[in-house]
Structure 1
Amino acid sequence: MELEQLAAIDDDQDDFYVCHTYVDRIDPREYIHRKARLLYADGGIIHVFTATQHWYLPGRFYMWIPANTTYHLESSSSRIHLYSFYFKEQKVAHSVLLNPNIFLSNDLMREMFLFAQDWEGRINKKNSYSKYCLLRAMMAIIPEMSPPIDAFPMQHPYPKSEKLQRIARYLNTNIDQAFTIEQVATQFGMSSRSLSRLFKEDMGISYIRFLRAIRIAKALELMAENTYSILEIAMRVGYNELSSFSNIFTRVTGIRPSVYMSKINEYKN
């Protein structure tokens, strides 16, 4: 974001600010706004880091970041459509809006996002009353129609080096393949020993642990689509045995995949 845009977002004269952009690379700078931010990413996977938690934001979900929250974003996805709605802080707010939360985007909220995809800039009652009313309605229905799900903070770092980011993109693109570290190292002109050392130095974790994390991240995204069975999802993210997928999913998220799928269906209904 440019300084001029950041100033406009924080201007108290406007009730709302809207900014939607296509990005190939997420700006990792740290932000804090006087307005709350509703963030929805279409076509990518976003990681949101606050001072105390690392939130994974999968497709079909959106995140509420309260005003005056310090955070930054990271992603290895490219060509992401970021929807950003900024809301002036309310004197009296629903309790669910007082803390960062992740919500499933039900059909109504998604239609609202898509309806507003061409909006840009400051919005208040005087300059655009119809847009002002829709955003007021959006903020009002979040607590009523989109109960926060049990969010799964993915407690692992993300690549900082350009080389590891390229490797992460490659693994995400071929998520159904069971690549060994030797195969990946060869693909990128490295020795497996050098690649293993790079993972440890850059992220403090092993290749296996990182691969496991991005597989589960992709599984969460596929589950939100509610199109595939758990076995189909397991195979799509590189697991040939349902039991292995289920055990690793539970270890990473703290909840069994069948329970998570049930919750998704509950929220959609």
Structure 2
Amino acid sequence: MEQEQLGVIDDNEYDFYVCHTHVDRIDSREYIHQKARLLYADGGIIHVFTATKHWYLPGRFYMWIPANTAYHLESSSSHIHLYSFYFKEQEGVHPVLLDPNIFLSNDLMREMFLFARDWEGGISRKTSYSRYCLLRAMMAIIPEMSPPIDAFPMQHPYPKSEKLRRIARYLNMYIDQAFTIEQVAAQFGMSSRSLSRLFKEDMGISYIRFLRAIRIAKALELMAENTYSILEIAMRIGYSELSSFSNIFTRVTGIRPSVYMSKINEYKN
């Protein structure tokens, strides 16, 4: 997002601004704008950092970022399609839209996102009444049709160094493999001691804890698809035992996977 584009987004002439982009690399600069942002990502996991929290935004979920909220984005995924809808502040907004929140994209919301995928630029009642009406409807139904997900955010550091970001992308690509730190270090021409030290210095956590975090983030994405059983998801992210996956998922998110899947089904229905 360039500075001049930010100026257009905040232009009071427009009630809404729509901008969709395909990106291979997320710009990690901090942003703050006078319109609220609805952010939906296809093709990867986005990390959203506000002043107080770190949010995971997997596929099939979207995030509401209120106006005048300072934030920046990170991602180890590539080929991401970012859908961005910006909404001018209104009086009497629903309380759930006053704070940042993650929502599951039910079928209706996702169809709205896809319907608007070719839109670009400022929208007002005068410029395009039909698009204006759809965006007003989108904002109105968010609190009623898409309750915020209880298991978010998951607090966790994210790599600052480019080397660790490459390792994160590698681990995401082979998420079903149980790589040891020695194997990963050898793959990237390092000693396991050097890689362990880099994790501690860069993020303050161990390799094992970071691997666990990206696995659980992938599990959340697979759960949202509602295609696989919990056992199948566990196997797809590198756990050979359901009990191990269930215990780690509960420790990281604060909710058991079976309960979380039930919530997903409730929200979709």
Alignment TM class, shorter chain as reference: over 0.9
Q: Distance in 2 between matches of 1:218 and 1:145?
A: 24
Aligned to 2:4: 4
In the alignment, is the contact (CA less than 8 A) between 2:151 and 2:255 conserved in 1? no
Aligned pairs for 1:131-210 (under 5 A) are 131-210=131-210
Q: Distance in 2 between matches of 1:128 and 1:75?
A: 34
Q: Distance in 2 between matches of 1:65 and 1:154?
A: 17
1:76 aligns with 2:93: no
In the alignment, is the contact (CA less than 8 A) between 1:101 and 1:151 conserved in 2? no
- Report the secondary structure of 1:165's partner residue: helix
Aligned to 2:246: 246
1:147, distance to aligned residue in structure 2 (A): 1.4
In the alignment, is the contact (CA less than 8 A) between 2:230 and 2:257 conserved in 1? yes
Aligned to 1:88: 88
In the alignment, is the contact (CA less than 8 A) between 2:48 and 2:55 conserved in 1? yes
- Report the secondary structure of 2:93's partner residue: coil
Q: Distance in 1 between matches of 2:180 and 2:9?
A: 46
Amino acid aligned to 2:76: S
Q: Distance in 1 between matches of 2:263 and 2:198?
A: 38
Q: Distance in 2 between matches of 1:114 and 1:140?
A: 18
1:54 aligns with 2:54: yes
- In the alignment of these two chains, the number of paired residues is 269
Alignment root-mean-square deviation, CA: 0.7
Q: Distance in 2 between matches of 1:70 and 1:188?
A: 35
1:35 aligns with 2:74: no
Amino acid aligned to 1:12: N
TM-score computed with the length of structure 1 as normaliser = 0.99
- Report the secondary structure of 1:264's partner residue: helix
Amino acid aligned to 1:227: T
- Report the secondary structure of 2:148's partner residue: coil
Amino acid aligned to 1:248: I
Aligned pairs for 1:91-110 (under 5 A) are 91-110=91-110
- Report the secondary structure of 1:175's partner residue: coil
- Report the secondary structure of 1:172's partner residue: helix
Aligned residues with identical type, % of pairs: 89
In the alignment, is the contact (CA less than 8 A) between 1:102 and 1:151 conserved in 2? no
Q: Distance in 1 between matches of 2:185 and 2:206?
A: 13
In the alignment, is the contact (CA less than 8 A) between 1:65 and 1:100 conserved in 2? yes
Q: Distance in 1 between matches of 2:150 and 2:210?
A: 22
In the alignment, is the contact (CA less than 8 A) between 1:55 and 1:151 conserved in 2? no
1:153, distance to aligned residue in structure 2 (A): 1.6
1:47, distance to aligned residue in structure 2 (A): 0.8
1:65 aligns with 2:50: no
TM-score computed with the length of structure 2 as normaliser = 0.99
Aligned to 2:219: 219
Q: Give runs of ≥4 in structure 1 deviating > 6 Å.
A: none
Aligned to 1:124: 124
In the alignment, is the contact (CA less than 8 A) between 1:17 and 1:86 conserved in 2? yes
In the alignment, is the contact (CA less than 8 A) between 1:16 and 1:122 conserved in 2? yes
In 2 relative to 1, CA 151–255 (structure 1 residues): closer, same or farther, beyond 3 Å? closer
In the alignment, is the contact (CA less than 8 A) between 2:151 and 2:254 conserved in 1? no
1:151, distance to aligned residue in structure 2 (A): 3.8
Deviations 1:54-88 (A, max 9, x none): 11111101011111111111110001000000000
1:97, distance to aligned residue in structure 2 (A): 0.8
Aligned to 2:237: 237
Deviations 1:231-254 (A, max 9, x none): 110010000001100110011001
Q: Distance in 1 between matches of 2:175 and 2:136?
A: 40
Q: Distance in 2 between matches of 1:191 and 1:110?
A: 45
User: Which runs of 5 or more structure 2 residues have no equivalent in the other structure?
Assistant: none
Amino acid aligned to 2:194: S
Q: Distance in 1 between matches of 2:156 and 2:149?
A: 20
1:21, distance to aligned residue in structure 2 (A): 0.2
Amino acid aligned to 2:189: G
Q: Distance in 1 between matches of 2:239 and 2:209?
A: 14
